[in-house]
Amino acid sequence: MYSDRLAVPFAVALVGFVAAPSWGAGSTPSTPDLEFFEKRVRPLLIRRCHRCHSANAKTIQGGLRLDTRAGVLRGGDNGPVIAAGQPTASRLIQAIRYGGAIKMPPDSRLAADEIAVLVRWVQIGAPWPNAPSKDLSKIGGDEGFPLEERKRNQWCWQPIRDPRLPRVDGDWPISSIDRFLFARMRAHDLHPAATADRSIWLRRVTFDLIGLPPSPPEVTSFAADTTPVAYARVVERLLASPRFGEHWARHWMDLVRYAETKAFESDYTMPYAFRYRDYLIRALNADVPYNQFIREHIAGDLLEQPRRNPADGSLESALGTGYWYLNDGHHGPTDVHGDEVRVFENMIDVTSKVFLAQTLACARCHDHKFDPITTRDYYSLYGVLASSRFEYVNTISPDLLTSRRQQLQRQRERIQRELSRIWTTDLRTLREQLATAQSLDPLQKLEAWRGLLERAPGTDSKPLPRPKGSSLAPLQPIADVLSSPADRLAPSWQKWSQQAPSKPRERLGGLSHESFGEWLAAGTGFGDQPMVPGSLVLARTGEQVVRTLVRGPAAGHLSSRFDGSIKSPMFELGNSVSVRVKGRHARVRLFVQHYELVGQGVTTGNLDQQVNSDQWVWITIDTRLWKGLRAYLEVLHNGDEMQVVMLRQHAAEHADDSYVAIDDATLGGPRQTVTVGDYVQAWRIAGSAPPSQVAAAVFVVDRISALLARWPQEGLTTAESDVLEALLQCGILAATVDRSPAVESLVKVFRAQARSVPKPIYARGVTDGHGRDEPVYLRGDHQQMSPERVPRHFLAALDTPPFSGSGSGRREWADAVVHPENPLASRVIVNRIWSYLMGRGMVASVDNFGEMGARPTHPDLLDHLAHRFMRDGWSLKQLIRKITLSRAYRMSTRPSAQAQRTDPAGVWLSYLPLRRLPAESIRDAILVASGRLQRRMFGPSVPVNLQQTIPSRSKPTDEGPVDGNGRRSVYIEMRRNYLPNFLCAFDLPNASVTRGQRSVTNVPIQALTLMNDPFVIEQAHLWAEHIVTDSRSLRERINGLHLTAFARAATDAEQRKCQAFIVELAKQFKIETADAGDDARVWTEICHLMINRKEFIFLVGQK
């Protein structure tokens, strides 16, 4: 950075500034802070500062280097430039804000989001890795990168072992888990804590497995069960509960940053996001093997044997891919390619952390600073994503749709044959009349034909009358011939015969009426080949049989309920791109650099165009703003059902008259696809003219008959299909249901069959495009790319070959993740499950197994469980069963005196950590206590309640009830800008990044929420009303209160306190003490008090 205006080097100007960053004294930055630096700060410094302030600068301006930790610590010629933790006091921040005399960079001010990145960096202490920095100007290969050394020295890359069970003394261990833990305890001179009370264990395991408290009857039943299988019986009941999937789905939703809106200023709603949540619940309840679960997430649309719902055969596997595009989304970004970089980085970050616990996104700008992950690994996965396409998946059983499609195809063919028979008969009769006529009277008597003849002689330029919404240009040549008087017949014939047909034109992506070319169709609607010219689209209702004719790629022509999209190959944008289409309720979309929110924003609003015409129309999209970028076109049947909305939930209605067809696509503006010469050729106007008007009429009738003779055999040209459609539109070929009893019957059956096709049930997902390798973006800058492309492959550290298929490579990537020789996937999920159940992971950094993460405290146990997990068929429920039935899981949360002295953090698990319930379980437990919990599963989310929320342009207009209709928290709408207040108070994540372990705070807002939130007060009142109607004694009701809240009866002390409180409340409410037990106001206060007790929201026993 250098200012010609001031002629003063940046660092020299910062005279007298001496405060050094906090890490200069040797403190270690946190892993998230280092991730932030590597992903956000370093790329920015490289892009905007290194030209003048790095080793590669021609002259290091002011002696300031911003490419090394030492350089930033030292500062410029006159001292440091950063005051760690104090952005406003840092002259670096002052300069980039243009707030004083020094304004840097001098050539152009940083964008607001770039300034925010540097401000945050300084605010968190300006973290910088301690590792020496390599020359970042030579990114693009891994030459010199110590991959094998790092792989050899880091624990997580070593093969999974099957360690021998430790030999231990005593009878405490009852499982292999206990033996490993006990051996580790004894090695640290620790003993296991006492076994928790059975009621404590029951409450713990019930919340852990289904996220709800045990009911009083369940507490009583378990207390009475003294058999050796009592614990196992409870675990089996909970694992089989439908509530299991609801609870564990929420864990997974944290990992994949689940939300239903896009955040930022508009917070657009993502259509059908909730169906991914429902997929998770079903998959977890069904105990889908985890390796299959991973495959479904990464490449569920590509599996050779996709999983189906056993109840109705609907698709399940493809829904897993819905997690890819759960990212947030900018509103009309000015740099669309830069937005792709941001979105893909998020996808790569989430995917690598969720399944591998690796920070792959840290290799975007350079090889990873600590782990055996290269920049080429990053851009390999980037290429996989760039070769994939966002897609809406219809989950209805493909087998059912295929069967109904074939049924409708056969019925349509019957209708076509019957119409052809009727029309042929009509034409034969007309020809017979013309054969004996001396004039065109037989035609004049027919209204449709009369429309062709009512033209003044000699006015060849007069256009043919057009019914509203029709295109009758194909009839112009014969209309002119038939309306010409005898002396003008030959000249008219000659004029038309001289019109030359058009020459074939190349369409975008090799699209044609015979082949999709390089376009890729998804869903059942488009089938596996284009429609031949003249294909019928039958009317769904009304007297008309035929709606229109189509050709080329088409969907919805049999039924609107057959879903489909078709996408072009990627191409480089010029000034514009055009598509010739017809249809109803369809969309033409242009995805520039995979930008998802087409149709939204000032700059990208024109990228989504509606198709709503039964005539061929050109749709042209101006692309000058993105000239030189890459894009693909999508034509989306039923596209109106996938429209992103703002301020409300997505709730589209299916339109039964929808269909779409594509005739042409080209770079540039519209062009003439069928010319007058083509129509002349279709009519066979050539050679000598007919001798009379009658002869000309006979010629025309014979030509129509010839077209009809070839029509059922599907042998028409493009122009001939236009002729046939024009004849239908003007009524010469009349097609109404009353033409014959056979037509009426056939159409009735067809329409009934069409209605029997289930309406589409859409979900978000992805589909494959054509495989494309991406270059390395030098220093993470998409405007500077390496000349060579990176072959798509899995992580180089695992020595997998490049992908050889023609598709995206997602299937190969998924297979590599779950390959038995990959030591990461099984270890990662075992550690996650362990952390959810035991309070902390054996690897504390559950999302990072790399060098900057924690090392395993129990490596042998981790490998033992990971090995057995794979051997047991990757069953999550079996793993949970093993952990919850261990002696360790039964331990108390009370540490021994020795553990308090030597292991206060509980690292060696001689006792279980005290755990607060997750936010959802707290809310759901309140609903259970009040009796309001509704156990209905699945479906659209309940709109979020907007109590005490601030207004903004993205505040939704639809507000949900305070109690969320009594639904479990997993079914409450997750709007990124308006997350549920109650859940946020108890540390609901913000749905932007992977969160394998939630923060657990202890802040005043939590106590205030439990005391004052309208939801809590309302539920306390409902709970009280149930108690008032209870006919049992006061003591029994108090016991019931405690059983509901804490899964145990009240102690004698609690009985006394509660009864004393009732007496006090009676005084406050000025009622007789004897009547207080039947007063809802009294019990409301008591129930409210119970909710506010620590034991209600913690997994803790009685003190």
Specify whether the CB–CB gap between 345 and 281 falls below 8 A: no
Q: Is residue 194 part of a domain?
A: no
Give the range with max mean pLDDT: 53-57, 246-250, 706-710. 246-250
Nearest to 888, CA basis, from 864, 867, 912, 866? 912
Looking at 47-56, 165-174, 635-644, 856-865, which range is the least confident one?
A: 47-56
Contacts 24+ apart (CB under 8 A), 458-466: 458/485, 458/488, 460/492, 460/495
Q: What is the mean pLDDT of the chain?
A: 91
Query: Which tens digits make up the pLDDT trace of 339-375?
Result: 999 999 999 999 999 999 999 999 999 999 999 999 9
Specify whether the CB–CB gap between 845 and 994 falls below 8 A: no
Per-residue pLDDT band for 27 (boundaries 50, 70, 90) equals low
Q: Is residue 588 part of a domain?
A: yes
Return the SS3 of 916.
strand
Nearest to 767, CA basis, from 270, 395, 344, 300? 300
Nearest to 350, CA basis, from 999, 1000, 993? 993
Per-residue pLDDT band for 80 (boundaries 50, 70, 90) equals confident
Same domain, 495 and 595: no
Specify whether the CB–CB gap between 522 and 652 falls below 8 A: no
Same domain, 547 and 641: yes
pLDDT of residue 62: 72
Same domain, 43 and 123: yes
Same domain, 647 and 741: no
Give the DSSP H or E segment for 613: strand 608-622
pLDDT of residue 34: 80
Q: Is residue 566 part of a domain?
A: yes
Is 456 or 677 the better-scoring residue by pLDDT?
677
Q: Quick one: 487 exposed, middle or buried, by C-beta within 10 A (0-12, 13-18, 19+)?
A: exposed
What range defines the domain where residue 578 resides? 540-665
* Residue 407 to residues 208, 410, 419, 741, 869, Cα–Cα distance (Å): 50, 5, 19, 21, 46
Per-residue pLDDT band for 403 (boundaries 50, 70, 90) equals very high
Same domain, 620 and 716: no
Look up residue 1103 and give its two tokens: 């003190």
* Residue 21 to residues 18, 64, 919, 1055, Cα–Cα distance (Å): 10, 15, 37, 58
**Side-chain-side CA neighbours of residue 167 (13 Å):** 0
Average pLDDT over residues 212-217: 97
CA distance 179 to 94: 59
pLDDT at 52 over 50: yes
Q: Is residue 952 part of a domain?
A: no
pLDDT of residue 288: 98
In degrees and rounded to multiples of 5, residue 69 shows phi and psi of -65, -45
Same domain, 572 and 603: yes
Could you count the other beta carbons within 10 Å of the beta carbon of residue 240? Answer: 12
Look up residue 31 and give its two tokens: 């892993």
Give the DSSP H or E segment for 536: strand 531-538
The region that residue 580 occupies, defined by phi over 0 for left and psi between -120 and 50 for alpha, beta otherwise, is beta
Same domain, 20 and 88: yes
Give the range with max mean pLDDT: 61-65, 328-332, 1058-1062. 1058-1062
pLDDT at 35 over 90: no
Q: Is residue 1003 part of a domain?
A: no
Strands 2-3 and 8-9: antiparallel
Query: Which tens digits make up the pLDDT trace of 606-663?
Result: 999 999 999 999 999 999 999 999 999 999 999 999 999 999 999 999 999 999 999 9
Same domain, 35 and 115: yes
Average pLDDT over residues 86-103: 81
Query: Which tens digits make up the pLDDT trace of 242-261?
Result: 999 999 999 999 999 999 99
SS3 letters across 491-520 = HHHHHHHCCCCCCCCCCHHHCCCCCCCCCE
SS3 letters across 941-952 = CECCCCCCCCCC
* Dihedral in degrees, nearest 10, Cα atoms 415, 419, 424, 426: 150
Q: Is residue 367 part of a domain?
A: no
Per-residue pLDDT band for 464 (boundaries 50, 70, 90) equals very low
Query: Which tens digits make up the pLDDT trace of 1009-1053?
Result: 999 999 999 999 999 999 999 989 999 999 999 999 999 999 999
In degrees and rounded to multiples of 5, residue 468 shows phi and psi of -60, 130
CA distance 985 to 916: 13
Same domain, 648 and 697: no
Same domain, 42 and 120: yes
pLDDT of residue 141: 45
- DSSP designation for 308: B
pLDDT at 14 over 60: no
CA distance 634 to 581: 12
Domain count, the chain: 4
CA distance 680 to 686: 8
pLDDT at 754 over 70: yes
Q: Quick one: 425 exposed, middle or buried, by C-beta within 10 A (0-12, 13-18, 19+)?
A: exposed
pLDDT at 458 over 70: no
On the question of a cis peptide bond just before residue 310, with omega within 30 degrees of 0, the verdict is no
Nearest to 278, CA basis, from 303, 257, 258? 258
pLDDT of residue 12: 34
Boundary of a domain, candidates 133, 157, 183: 133
pLDDT of residue 18: 33
Boundary of a domain, candidates 712, 738, 754: 754
CA distance 171 to 150: 42
Average pLDDT over residues 300-327: 96
pLDDT at 269 over 50: yes
CA distance 915 to 840: 10
Q: Is residue 432 part of a domain?
A: yes
Look up residue 172 and give its two tokens: 């405490």
CA distance 198 to 680: 91
Look up residue 1094 and give its two tokens: 């620590």
Residue type, 287: D
Residue type, 203: R
Give the range with max mean pLDDT: 10-14, 493-497, 752-756. 752-756
pLDDT of residue 46: 82
Beta bridge partners of 790: 774
CATH number of the domain residue 641 falls in:
2.60.120
Per-residue pLDDT band for 78 (boundaries 50, 70, 90) equals low
CA distance 876 to 860: 20
CA distance 722 to 713: 17
Average pLDDT over residues 500-521: 93
Share of the chain above pLDDT 90, in %: 78
Look up residue 417 and give its two tokens: 């044959």
Looking at 47-56, 165-174, 512-521, 704-713, which range is the least confident one?
A: 47-56
Is the sign of the CA dihedral 614, 615, 616, 617 positive or negative?
negative
Per-residue pLDDT band for 131 (boundaries 50, 70, 90) equals low
Contacts 24+ apart (CB under 8 A), 68-71: 68/133, 69/128, 69/129, 69/130, 69/133
pLDDT at 9 over 70: no
Q: Quick one: 506 exposed, middle or buried, by C-beta within 10 A (0-12, 13-18, 19+)?
A: exposed
pLDDT at 877 over 70: yes
Boundary of a domain, candidates 694, 725, 754: 754
Return the SS3 of 798.
helix
pLDDT of residue 358: 97
Look up residue 64 and give its two tokens: 């300031």
Per-residue pLDDT band for 122 (boundaries 50, 70, 90) equals confident
Same domain, 646 and 723: no
Per-residue pLDDT band for 132 (boundaries 50, 70, 90) equals very low
In the block, tokens 């014939």 appear at 493
Measure the N-to-C terminal CA separation of the chain; round to a whole number of Å.
Answer: 64
pLDDT of residue 1101: 56
CA distance 183 to 908: 10
Same domain, 703 and 620: no
pLDDT at 48 over 90: no
Query: Which tens digits make up the pLDDT trace of 950-980?
Result: 888 899 998 999 999 999 999 999 999 999 9
CA distance 272 to 319: 11
Return the SS3 of 722.
helix
Can you state the percent helix, strand and coil of the chain, rounding each to 5?
45, 10, 45
pLDDT of residue 621: 97
* Residue 192 to residues 167, 833, 842, 911, Cα–Cα distance (Å): 16, 21, 17, 6
Q: Quickly list H helices, 661-768.
A: 676-683, 693-710, 718-730, 741-756
pLDDT of residue 143: 62
Helices and strands counted in the chain (H then E) = 39, 18
Residue type, 544: Q
CA distance 96 to 79: 18
pLDDT of residue 124: 87
Give the start-end residues of each E strand in 784-847: 785-790
Strands 762-768 and 630-636: unpaired
CA distance 455 to 464: 8
Average pLDDT over residues 54-81: 76
Q: Is residue 882 part of a domain?
A: no
pLDDT of residue 646: 92
CA distance 792 to 378: 10
